[in-house]
Chains A and B, each alone.
Chain A
């Protein structure tokens, strides 16, 4: 109940930033178009690169643009609020409340993600659909699995962003870590180039790391590349990282409150 209330309030809060939303959709679409032509050129040269055909590749581009803000790939989202509250010392107030901080911020981030999905997710997807004729999930099962995968992607990304924000307990400021983590995520999540194109050990590694949950796994499910037990394995992979990372958030928070100081008088 509380967490639903938290999520809806964050949703509403983000909904007040209309101008930012519109310009964001515009930006995503411009990037979507540029990437689409780049990928089309790439797949023209190698029509089955990574096991994708050119329609898969273009669909992947637009899914990436739709997911970018929904999972807050660059970092940010409600975990920026947390980092700011740690820096100012206001986190003291969050800490003495009878609810866990991780659950609270996760609920809040899901509210944010829902808003970004409806706007910055659907917006570019619609444009991709009209202009580039991207493919849709092949079955109801795939569509449902994609929805689940999307929620898991948000949770995994939230946990990583939460860990990044928690560095503020020690460093007072998360921004250095956040920039590095964002840049790394862009690359290793398959946002720039699908992980299916990563060669050899780099591909194996990237597909085993939590960032694969961000774009590659949901996109593969949308494209119907994961079926049957393989679909279960894909979702299981995300669940595993979600559980591990959320546990890490709890651990870090416990460590932070025991060792570290709450700032300010």
Chain B
């Protein structure tokens, strides 16, 4: 990647804010009242070239709103966004040549046209050199297994095929950054796996920066070293995936199968979460050693079996979301 703006980070978001005016009908009042919805506020983060960042948060957290502001199709009501030093909403067209966007919910392809024709139009639109275009198209079509669909009109494609078409479309012009807003929505397990592998390779081989929004945490675990969690429009966590476990105050679980049913086990350093017949679930802090707890349990009870469950990232995040609410 050539770098003429690399003095700062690739994406720089500072005190970003976006509010929407909405009108609501209120019971008992004749006129609709104006109301402000704060979609994003006090949002600050930056992303360096080559990073793969997971941008997650519950429904309505402000993820799509942020991505729209990053691409320049929505103007912030406060704060600043810079992508490669450019102001997206003012320099949208200039920026468009350097970014790629995939909106899982919408298609960038032309409904009536065969996939190949959509790609053709994009080549002309982004003025991609014929050689580069050929090379990229061949490669993406091969990696994403799209060969059989090239001459099919987009409206006849399945969701997964269309999504792969959209991802190809977003990448043909070699963007430095790609924003993916729920790219795996509605994909089956095999397609998801293939897509993740593809994105990893893209990042590894071309250094493409990735900002990914998803509700599938496996996407994040498979792809992102860094996670930004947003809730109610503002970032509540920004760091590594591993750090997220710790931040969540997450716990490990010791599953104990007793020989006979017993009242909840009482040992220091652990707490019973659930009892089901002879099986009991004890939780203890992730950073504590399991050994003394196992020893204490074994000393006082007749144990048939033991196992330890690692913290689940989904629980951590659920925890984070519920604290923010």
Contacts and interface: CB of A to CB of B under 8 A. Distances in A.
Contacts of B7: none
28 contacts: A1-B124, A2-B124, A2-B125, A5-B120, A5-B121, A5-B124, A9-B113, A13-B113, A88-B106, A92-B73, A92-B106, A95-B72, A95-B92, A96-B73, A96-B99, A97-B96, A97-B125, A98-B94, A98-B96, A98-B97, A257-B73, A258-B75, A258-B89, A262-B73, A262-B74, A264-B106, A265-B64, A265-B105
Given A89-B106, A265-B105, A96 B96 contact: yes
Interface residues of B, number: 30
Given A90-B106, A92-B106, A262-B74, 14 more contacts: A6-B121, A9-B110, A9-B113, A9-B117, A13-B112, A93-B107, A96-B72, A96-B73, A98-B93, A98-B94, A98-B126, A100-B93, A258-B89, A264-B106
A261 B97 contact: no
B71 interface: yes
Given A13-B112, A258-B75, A262-B74, A98 B117 contact: no
B250 to A, nearest CB: 29
A99 interface: yes
Interface in A1-27: 1-2, 5-6, 9, 13, 16
B101 interface: yes
Contact of A98 (B105, B107, B120, B125): B125
A2 B112 CA distance: 17
A261 B74 contact: yes
Interface of B: 20, 64, 68, 71-75, 89, 92-94, 96-97, 99, 101, 103, 105-108, 110, 112-113, 117, 120-121, 124-126
A248 B304 CA distance: 80
A262 B94 CA distance: 20
Of the candidates A13, A16, A93, A99, the one having the most CB atoms from chain B within 10 angstroms of its own CB is A93
Nearest to A100: B93
Interface residues of A, number: 24
A37 B89 CA distance: 57
Contacts of A258: 75, 89
Contacts of B103: 92-93
Contacts of B105: 264-265
B107 to A, nearest CB: 8
Given A2-B124, A5-B124, A90-B106, A95 B73 contact: yes
User: Dominant SS at the A interface?
Assistant: loop
Nearest to B39: A261
B92 A93 contact: no
B92 A96 contact: yes
B121 A262 contact: no
A257 B75 CA distance: 8
Contacts of B101: 93, 96
A265 B62 CA distance: 9
Contacts of A6: 121
A190 B171 CA distance: 50
Contacts of A16: 112
Contacts of B106: 88-90, 92-93, 264
Nearest to B21: A261
Contacts of B71: 96
Contacts of A92: 68, 73, 103, 106
Nearest to B100: A96
Contacts of A99: 93, 125
A262 B96 contact: no
A92 B101 CA distance: 11
Contacts of A100: 93
A88 B113 CA distance: 19
A95 B72 CA distance: 8
Contacts of B68: 92, 262
A2 B97 contact: no
A88 B103 CA distance: 13
B269 to A, nearest CB: 44
Contacts of A265: 64, 105
A100 B96 CA distance: 12
A17 B106 CA distance: 26
Contacts of A89: 106
B106 to A, nearest CB: 5
A95 B71 CA distance: 9
Given A13-B112, A96-B71, A261 B20 contact: yes
Contacts of B20: 261
State the 7 A-B residue pairs at the shortest beta-carbon distance, nearest first.
A2-B124, A98-B96, A95-B73, A265-B64, A96-B71, A93-B108, A92-B73
A97 B99 CA distance: 10
Nearest to A98: B96
Interface string A118-150: 000000000000000000000000000000000
